Amino acid sequence: MGTLSQRADAVLGIDIGSTNVKVVALDPVGHVVARVRRATPRPVDDPSIDAARLFDTIEEMALEACGERYAVAAACAAGVGEDGVLVDAGLAPLTRALAWFDPRRTDLFEVLRPRLDDADDVGTATDAARTLVGWAWARTQPHAERATAWVALTDYVASQWAATTFLSDTLAARTAAWRPLSRTWHSPRVQATLGSTSLLPTVLPTGSTVGELRSERLRQAGVLAPGALVVAGGHDHPVGGWGVHQLHPGAILDSMGTAEVVVTQTPAPPDAVPESVDVSPGIHNASGATVLRVEELARNVQWASQDPAVAHALGQLISGDAAPDDHLLSRTFQPGAAGGRPPSYAPGAAADPHSRACAVLGALAELGGRAVESVAALTGPGASVYSAGGWARSRGWTDIKQAVTGRTVQAIAEPEVTAVGAALLAARALDWKPDAATGLNPLPC
């Protein structure tokens, strides 16, 4: 193994996703010099996550990313927004992280809802996916009485490396119990779910330095640069959006994967925010805000794909191997919505599988277009829009979106936008000045 003196410094960006964990290494210029991806570690029969196992997985990935050539100068983790664990005084997890999509949340939320004070200043909708539901669940688990703090799953690795608890502010904004504009907790909601605000760690701005990165495993492997830093990351979509913001101030990121998430940085908190838009703190802009809107994407396609003929037509259209017909603008497909409303076809919808597939994709393109317009209305005029995610690399889908919305969008070639955004935050903490375009690789329009 190469010695530390032979290694070049790099920063690590980590994206802890619901399905996969991604680690990228970025050099001081902005080149992505390594990518590592692994499945998010979950038991076969349980969607919850063991934070200690996740920590071990990420350290293994860091070693693989560094290989024989690089040493970690700083690391930053972004990821899922609502999951977390209770920990003891030594930061050992006492509970598993209840996944934001775990079906057990729905019944628990129905019990909790009457006990939650109304709050229109917590920056996000109050529903079963929010962190406060996970708080209430965690308190009922064995050994919860030994807890000294609650730590977000995304922040857990950084907390272990820095030997301290903290909460990134863009994750605090996902709890439905934190007021992002005043940066204060809604104490009655915390007490009704977590039990006490004393279990909540200090909230740190995303992008701030948490402390020195201490890892005996990485040190012994020779991949830890002297004085390496841990940098607060936070919610994945704002971090990815901030990375795109470095390409063009005020740029909008339209990220299309399991869901379609539209996000941007605004120079000041919006005066009036539609109910469909979430607000969290700005990143490296104390007077600004992050605004985002989420729409369902994959679930609607999965529902329509129950008909094998429609599934085949959808694949052909998305890839660009077939052209849409006039049903693209028919509005005869109603997408599913938050709260469990299922997708449906309108009465009189075409029976032809190709036409049905066109109606589905046309409706989803229109829905995504409305999300972009609602976010664009909260930022400056003429904002550039960049697309990312697997769907953004599908020629047929991007053509359909442009045909339906009339908006030209520039695609990001880099597949790990959130991880690169986290790496750019780590680089900024070192006063490096990498080129965001080098890391993200936006494609020509």
Per the CB < 8 A criterion, the answer to whether 413 and 442 are in contact is: yes
pLDDT of residue 101: 84
Interatomic CA distance for residues 288 and 66, integer angstroms:
35
Per the CB < 8 A criterion, the answer to whether 91 and 150 are in contact is: no
pLDDT of residue 5: 63
pLDDT of residue 299: 86
pLDDT of residue 1: 47
Per the CB < 8 A criterion, the answer to whether 213 and 224 are in contact is: yes
Per the CB < 8 A criterion, the answer to whether 179 and 190 are in contact is: no
Helical (H) or strand (E) element with 51: helix 51-66
Interatomic CA distance for residues 278 and 121, integer angstroms:
11
SS3 253: strand
> Residues of 42-80 as b/e, b for ≥16 C-beta within 10 angstroms?
beeeebbbbbbebbebbbebbbebbeebbbbbbbbbbbb
pLDDT of residue 438: 96
Nearest-CA neighbor of 47 among 151, 136, 110, 134? 134
End-to-end CA, the chain: 44
Residues in contact with 12: Cβ distance below 8 Å, sequence separation at least 6, in sequence order: 23, 24, 25, 26, 62, 65, 72, 74, 75, 76, 423, 426
Query: Between helices 353-376 and 308-319, what is the axis angle to 10°?
Result: 50
Query: Which letter does DSSP use for residue 199 in this model?
Result: G
pLDDT of residue 239: 97
- Length in residues, the chain: 445
| 306-323 confidence digits (pLDDT tens) | 999 999 999 999 999 999
pLDDT of residue 3: 55
DSSP 60-83: HHHHHHHTTTEEEEEEEEEE-SS-
Q: Give me the torsion for CA of 89, 95, 97, 102, rounded to 10°.
A: -160
Interatomic CA distance for residues 430 and 178, integer angstroms:
29
Half-sphere exposure of 184 (CA within 13 A, CB side): 6
Interatomic CA distance for residues 81 and 153, integer angstroms:
8
Q: Distance of CA 235 to CAs 153, 208, 241, 282, Å?
A: 11, 14, 10, 12
| 172-212 confidence digits (pLDDT tens) | 999 999 998 899 999 999 999 999 999 999 999 999 999 99
pLDDT of residue 340: 58
- Residue whose structure tokens are 């000045």: 433
Nearest-CA neighbor of 390 among 238, 235, 255, 206? 255
Interatomic CA distance for residues 89 and 104, integer angstroms:
28
The pair of three-digit structure tokens given for residue 185, joined into one six-digit string: 């907790």
Per the CB < 8 A criterion, the answer to whether 255 and 294 are in contact is: no
Per the CB < 8 A criterion, the answer to whether 35 and 444 are in contact is: no
Nearest-CA neighbor of 402 among 371, 368, 375? 368
Return averaged pLDDT per consecutive 10 residues of the chain, 445 residues in all.
74 94 97 96 86 96 97 97 95 94 90 91 90 96 96 97 97 94 94 96 97 97 96 96 94 91 92 84 92 90 96 97 96 80 90 97 96 89 88 93 92 95 98 96 79
Per the CB < 8 A criterion, the answer to whether 383 and 251 are in contact is: yes
Interatomic CA distance for residues 349 and 101, integer angstroms:
31
